[in-house]
C-alpha cells in the first residue's frame, strides 16, 4: 500500500472509531427510551435526526471500509449537520458542553483531514498510465 493509501486508511479508521462511539451512544438512548423518544420534548426534526444517527453512523462506518469515497462524503454530511443541529439545540435549550465539544473537535479533525483521504481514494480509482517508451 502506498503512503497516501496508508494515510487514507488511518484517517478513515479514526472516523470509524468516532462514528462507532456515536452510534453506541445513540443506540443506548434508543434501547433505554425507545425509538420514538422525544428527548425531553425537543422538536420532532431533532428527535428524528438523533434517532436516525443510530443507523446512519454505522452505515457511514461500513461505507468507509467498503466504499471509501461514499463513506467520506457521508461522514462529512453527518458531522456538519450534527454540529449545526446541536448548535441550534444548544442555543435554544442549553448545551451538553462535553458532548458538543467532542463533536466540534471531530468536525475540525474531519475538515482538516478529509481532503487527504479523498485525494488518496481518488488516486486509487484512477488507473495508472502505462509508461511510454521511445
Residue 133 lies inside a defined structural domain of this protein: no
Q: What is the pTM of this model?
A: 0.88
Quick: pLDDT tens for 86-98.
Answer: 999 999 999 999 9
Residue 66 lies inside a defined structural domain of this protein: yes
**Number of separate domains in the chain:** 1
Residue 130 lies inside a defined structural domain of this protein: no
Residue 134 lies inside a defined structural domain of this protein: no
Quick: pLDDT tens for 43-86.
Answer: 999 999 999 999 999 999 999 999 999 999 999 999 999 999 99
- What is the grid cell recorded at 117? 483521504
Residue 129 lies inside a defined structural domain of this protein: no
Residue 120 lies inside a defined structural domain of this protein: yes
Consecutive H or E run containing 101: helix 97-125
The DSSP code sequence of 13-63 is HHHHHHHHHHHHHHHHHHHHH-TT--TTT--HHHHHHHHHHHHHHHHHHHH
Confidence label for 125 from pLDDT (cuts 50, 70 and 90): low
Quick: pLDDT tens for 14-30.
Answer: 999 999 999 999 999 99
Residue 132 lies inside a defined structural domain of this protein: no
Amino acid at each position: 500500500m502506498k503512503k497516501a493509501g496508508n494515510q487514507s486508511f488511518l484517517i478513515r479508521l479514526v472516523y470509524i472509531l468516532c462514528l462507532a462511539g456515536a452510534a453506541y451512544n445513540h443506540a443506548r438512548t434508543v434501547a433505554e427510551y425507545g425509538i420514538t423518544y422525544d428527548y425531553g420534548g425537543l422538536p420532532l426534526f431533532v428527535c428524528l435526526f438523533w434517532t436516525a444517527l443510530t443507523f446512519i453512523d454505522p452505515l457511514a462506518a461500513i461505507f468507509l471500509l467498503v466504499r471509501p469515497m461514499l463513506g467520506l462524503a457521508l461522514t462529512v454530511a453527518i458531522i456538519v449537520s450534527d454540529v449545526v443541529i446541536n448548535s441550534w439545540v444548544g442555543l435554544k435549550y442549553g448545551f451538553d458542553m462535553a458532548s458538543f465539544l467532542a463533536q466540534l473537535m471531530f468536525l475540525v479533525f474531519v475538515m482538516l483531514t478529509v481532503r487527504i483521504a479523498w485525494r488518496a481514494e481518488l488516486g486509487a480509482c484512477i488507473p495508472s498510465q502505462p509508461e511510454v517508451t521511445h
